Structure 1
């Protein structure tokens, strides 16, 4: 009794008093006593019934144990009250009930364990299991395990722990056979080492059955399969190994930092690296990033890029370093790209097959340029409904070799026009220039330069813009399923111009990484070894499963948008942001990422007027003039380069009226902006700017938002400065 808790002693006393009451009170026929016992017993039964309905059986059993006394006591009381008189068995039943309840102690038994059956409390999970096995085996009495960490993953039993002795005492000699028996592993899977910087009172225990079964430690595997000559990363060595648990949508991962000797550059074979770690490349679980002589290898428990993130204006807005977020990197961070390279170019490239997410990436880029104040002209080999939707939010968008020829022709003429502005300002293009940056997107570039009639001219003008457009704020972005720059002169120099800008490589045709990636990008990806992107996650089936006849007809999730951002020789695996571009004609999500006020960036009035005077500012659908008609040589150089004063096209009269004059002539009554744009032969952005200028000059009256009318005669008109 001296070791019994006070609560248990109080409960036993209560049972004794209740037993004495049960022996005499039921025969007194006292209605208040009967009602009290009935209420207590009935309440306990009702409470137990509610616990049963919760289906939490563990708590139900514990509640039943605690309610055992009142319920059984009420039954004994009812039996004694129902039988008339005072039979001999009533005191015996009451005393027997009291003795049984005292022996069981139902109320406190669930929270109290007698000292002779006391067991030590261990933390839950793997750590508690390891500590209990160590204590039960008594490998080294008076020692304990601390800092228990699983080394591979939560699914593997490999772990390390610190063996800690009592204060002031060293860790005793530990028999490795006994330690291996404690955890049920082979003896050669257990090692005990000193911990640098600590005394003999703490030792490092390592238990690695999985690693040993696979042929040795991680360092041994790395030396045999990765660092060997001809291996995945020849002549490399491990510098550091880290493990990180799962967080949010990011699965658990292990990371290995390796490096090669000074003076060497790390060469990575992604396919060989996957084979060394026993994973399939199609799983997209292993990512290798190289920077000079260092390589960071990340192995995930599952593919980290299955979830896509919706694009927002905030993500596509430039940060303080001139970058915008185009996707999510494999480690969960933002995949950012620079709008301008370190050299100040706006060039870049985007490569991806049909269905890889290339159009979505182009839409993201156009939105980021629009939010940064840049004007955008987009052309492609053939009309595309999704790019036409993007075209409603940018200055110019068209398809075909003829519009591409006119677009490039106007852009080269624009260099001369902006050259005059630069001379007036005393500097080349910068944030202080009075004209906006201009990005030309050439989608399906191979088809455009392969056109029989205009392909050579398109290639030549593209080459000029790529080399000389920087100081005039004009950039070129090449896009397509693959890029062939052989028709552009001086490919090495062109690569130097483009590589520093934005580079995105999505899934490429027949990709096997390495050389295939360099060929698909026309060398713009440099020496970056890009992991092959399958069309679906886990799309392939193992040969062993095929051998056993196992079939799985459930397709994996699409990898649309999964690819790499490339800068120079560095690449980062990522998944691009998502914006809704429907294929059924339903509303798209583009208004959510382009400027909120719906404004469209376009050229300045001075530039448009100058291009109009040169006969280059129209709908760009008429056939281009022939160089021979202007007395040029057969090579047609004069039609492309030289001084930009081409003769009027046949049956074409140069317009002398400005866009503002056309708008004033079109507005004969109250009209909406849409009705005005339909009657004025000019770009939508140009008409919008002209309307704003005319209202500011007092030459046009704005009745309501988007509604305009002529200025009343009593008000008069301002002098015309145009």
Structure 2
């Protein structure tokens, strides 16, 4: 047997009852004054009795002040912590009180008058006594002012170190009540490996070939401690167990973290659990959620952190899928765990304004907030890589329409032309109003796709004619977003427009990106037969674009393989409401408005290529009306046949140029010149021109950082160009890196 004893230490304590301390402080301040006011009116016998009674607290105060009451004695006496903290004021208060009592007993009311008002007769002996008495009373009040003004626990003097439990006592009790012949588990001996004032630990050894049968409840009864203070885990071999026994309660936070680690070990990391071969590290409070965050780390004999099913991990941790998050990282052996008492996404946030949807230089737009506090972003376009396709999926009531409004409003704010196809006919009127062209109903939606296909063919011919390597958007040739709402209405196998619609959507998915045409598909189900049965649509949109998955039906996960970014994520496990007492509360109720805070509309996952999915909630946007400018709705001015858009929409795509319909539209020849990338100087002049004072009375300056962000040009190039333009007097230099256009 080996023992390892740690140095006994004990942290400083605190006043056990702040309210009792405050009451005692008031009594110390009031005692001299009350005694001086009441004693003169008592008869001689009563006054003598009171004076005798006051001798007891005076003796206690004196013994306490000179240190005759040891720390150990004060630790066991009720209120001893207060006596230890109030040594001086308690002594002075008892002296002042005893002085008032003795004066009243010996001299009556005249004596009290001299004691209380004698300071007015200075200089005199009675005046000095009066001043001293009032000084003592004032000292008590001054010393206890912080106690009266603060109800928080106050540190008390350090208590004497708690001695460690003797090794002999631990082993004797174990042998007598557990491992001995008459013990609960004969032959299961304890090897003590560590012992200190707060805990002891060791190894329980059973006879060879037999398992350890000692339980926490048995140890609890033997050592008279709660069973929760006893932790028995696997030992070095099958006939052994590690044991750790606390001798005092752990701090609240430590108890919470220990409980989480124990729950993880027993329910999650066990063989057959949802994440076997893992453990938690660095459990810490998470300010973003109000809960805790921790690293999930693979054990030494585990290669990677397994991806758990959300429903299983929530069940194992005794919570719901909305209150637990497992986020993979680039390191396959580590993942992020967030466990919440209340999700920060529960309180939906309204869209701050249309300007919040301005894209950054790389075309990323924030749609809402992730559970970690990070912005939930989607890339709409890339100035160098071209357009980005988007797929939005979710059942009715999941917030799909609101997300589509956000994305389309983002297109409008960022000067992208919108062609909107709504086969249902009433899905999103606000998107219809901000579109350059909108087709509703199945025939109208098919017409909108035909128009988009015609523009695509024009841009293909133009690109070939002008030998355009990369698409560069301009006001006349903007990015175009082709939005197909309720896509299953046209792309399912029951649609009479399936063949034509699938052909157009596939062409846009394959060729649109490099020609500045974004394809946005929106629907309830994302299985292949609802996407025209064309794998090119799935591969180019689903895997190569941005994906927004909101609450789906129960079979959604198995309808189509999710990208790798959605490992261990199942949108079908998002309930319809944040809280519910029974299963009926999870059924969709169409009578509840979409902005009802109890619903989970807008909750889902958004991810792009090479990104990880995180639960997020989109900004609440019930209606986009009033947020877009009808006078700034762009259309593709580079398309020469835009004036014939209605005829184009009425012409089947496979009839163009075949002569099948003499009245059908015939595409014109590609014309125009190659679009040249504006120079840094031209971009600077454009940005500063947009900020010019309309009255022309003062120079409007922009800082170099603002110019860099607005032009998308590197900071070094902006600095050199602005400096050169200032020397040429094309720009006016301000202070601290600011530039503006000169007044004309």
TM bucket, shorter chain: 0.5 to 0.7
Q: 2:142 corresponds to which residue?
A: 111
Tell me if structure 1 keeps the 8 A contact 2:528–2:560: no
Alignment partners' CA distance in 2, 1:490 and 1:274:
36
Q: 1:366 corresponds to which residue?
A: 408
Tell me if structure 2 keeps the 8 A contact 1:348–1:476: yes
Task: Note the C-alpha offset of 1:374.
Answer: 1.4
Q: 2:620 corresponds to which residue?
A: 578
Aligned match for 1:376, one of 409, 412, 418: 418
The 1:416–1:254 alpha-carbon spacing in structure 2 relative to 1, beyond 3 Å, is: closer
**Structure 1 residue 504 and structure 2 residue 548: aligned?**
yes
Tell me if structure 2 keeps the 8 A contact 1:345–1:497: no
Task: Note the C-alpha offset of 1:484.
Answer: 3.3
C-alpha deviations, 1:30-78, integer Å up to 9, x for none? xxxxxxxxxxxxxxxxxxxxxxxxxxxxxxxxxxxxxxxxxxxxxxxxx
**Structure 1 residue 313 and structure 2 residue 360: aligned?**
no
Q: SS at the partner of 1:640?
A: helix
Q: SS at the partner of 2:431?
A: helix
Aligned match for 1:423, one of 436, 444, 464: 464
**Structure 1 residue 485 and structure 2 residue 528: aligned?**
yes
Aligned match for 2:290, one of 224, 231, 251: 251
Q: 2:199 corresponds to which residue?
A: 176
Aligned match for 1:296, one of 316, 336, 352: 336
The 1:223–1:610 alpha-carbon spacing in structure 2 relative to 1, beyond 3 Å, is: same
Q: 1:339 corresponds to which residue?
A: 380
**Structure 1 residue 102 and structure 2 residue 102: aligned?**
no
Alignment partners' CA distance in 2, 1:640 and 1:371:
34
Q: 2:636 corresponds to which residue?
A: 603
Alignment partners' CA distance in 2, 1:389 and 1:218:
48
Task: Note the C-alpha offset of 1:310.
Answer: 2.6
C-alpha deviations, 1:458-517, integer Å up to 9, x for none? 1222122212222222222111121232263552773254323221111212x3xxx633
Task: Note the C-alpha offset of 1:323.
Answer: 0.7
Q: 1:706 corresponds to which residue?
A: none
The 1:229–1:401 alpha-carbon spacing in structure 2 relative to 1, beyond 3 Å, is: farther
The 1:526–1:561 alpha-carbon spacing in structure 2 relative to 1, beyond 3 Å, is: closer
Aligned match for 1:356, one of 398, 402, 416: 398
- Unpaired segments ≥5 residues, structure 2: 1-28, 38-106, 118-128, 165-193, 202-219, 234-245, 585-595, 669-744
Task: Note the C-alpha offset of 1:305.
Answer: 0.6
Q: 1:495 corresponds to which residue?
A: 539
C-alpha deviations, 1:415-464, integer Å up to 9, x for none? 22112321343224522566212111111111222354212321222122
Alignment partners' CA distance in 1, 2:665 and 2:311:
62
Tell me if structure 1 keeps the 8 A contact 2:547–2:607: yes
The 1:429–1:364 alpha-carbon spacing in structure 2 relative to 1, beyond 3 Å, is: farther
Alignment partners' CA distance in 2, 1:598 and 1:418:
26
Aligned match for 2:557, one of 517, 520, 523: 517
Q: SS at the partner of 2:336?
A: strand
**Structure 1 residue 329 and structure 2 residue 329: aligned?**
no
Tell me if structure 2 keeps the 8 A contact 1:376–1:396: yes
- Unpaired segments ≥5 residues, structure 1: 1-10, 20-87, 142-170, 192-203, 544-554, 582-588, 626-638, 657-722
The 1:340–1:244 alpha-carbon spacing in structure 2 relative to 1, beyond 3 Å, is: same
**Structure 1 residue 138 and structure 2 residue 138: aligned?**
no
Task: Note the C-alpha offset of 1:365.
Answer: 0.4
Task: Note the C-alpha offset of 1:328.
Answer: 0.9
Tell me if structure 1 keeps the 8 A contact 2:528–2:535: yes
Alignment partners' CA distance in 2, 1:359 and 1:244:
35
Tell me if structure 1 keeps the 8 A contact 2:296–2:305: no
Task: Note the C-alpha offset of 1:175.
Answer: 5.7
Tell me if structure 1 keeps the 8 A contact 2:115–2:133: no
Task: Note the C-alpha offset of 1:289.
Answer: 1.4
Q: SS at the partner of 1:503?
A: strand
The 1:644–1:377 alpha-carbon spacing in structure 2 relative to 1, beyond 3 Å, is: farther
Alignment partners' CA distance in 1, 2:360 and 2:390:
19
Tell me if structure 2 keeps the 8 A contact 1:347–1:497: yes
Task: Note the C-alpha offset of 1:184.
Answer: 8.2
Aligned match for 1:286, one of 324, 337, 354: 324
Tell me if structure 2 keeps the 8 A contact 1:287–1:297: yes
Task: Note the C-alpha offset of 1:136.
Answer: 4.1
Alignment partners' CA distance in 2, 1:384 and 1:285:
35
Task: Note the C-alpha offset of 1:313.
Answer: 2.9
Task: Note the C-alpha offset of 1:600.
Answer: 0.5
C-alpha deviations, 1:360-409, integer Å up to 9, x for none? 11111011112222111122222227x22222222122322212222222
The 1:619–1:264 alpha-carbon spacing in structure 2 relative to 1, beyond 3 Å, is: same
Q: SS at the partner of 1:590?
A: coil
The 1:389–1:221 alpha-carbon spacing in structure 2 relative to 1, beyond 3 Å, is: closer
Alignment partners' CA distance in 1, 2:196 and 2:567:
54
Task: Note the C-alpha offset of 1:253.
Answer: 2.7
Name which of structure 1's ranges 217-226 and 333-342 shifts more when overlaid on structure 2.
Answer: 217-226
Q: 1:393 corresponds to which residue?
A: 434
Tell me if structure 1 keeps the 8 A contact 2:348–2:597: no
Alignment partners' CA distance in 2, 1:206 and 1:495:
60
Task: Note the C-alpha offset of 1:519.
Answer: 2.4
C-alpha deviations, 1:621-662, integer Å up to 9, x for none? x5x55xxxxxxxxxxxxx53875776344xx89999xxxxxx
Alignment partners' CA distance in 2, 1:137 and 1:395:
81
The 1:497–1:460 alpha-carbon spacing in structure 2 relative to 1, beyond 3 Å, is: same
Q: SS at the partner of 2:367?
A: strand
Alignment partners' CA distance in 2, 1:524 and 1:406:
36
Tell me if structure 2 keeps the 8 A contact 1:518–1:527: no
How many residues in Structure 1 have an aligned counterpart in Structure 2? 476
Alignment partners' CA distance in 1, 2:455 and 2:161:
85
C-alpha deviations, 1:557-609, integer Å up to 9, x for none? 1212111113357311111012232xxxxxxx5333x35x84011111x41x3
Q: 1:647 corresponds to which residue?
A: 661
Tell me if structure 1 keeps the 8 A contact 2:549–2:605: yes
Tell me if structure 2 keeps the 8 A contact 1:481–1:520: no
The 1:640–1:214 alpha-carbon spacing in structure 2 relative to 1, beyond 3 Å, is: same
TM-score normalised to the size of structure 2? 0.54
Q: SS at the partner of 1:378?
A: strand
Alignment partners' CA distance in 2, 1:521 and 1:611:
39
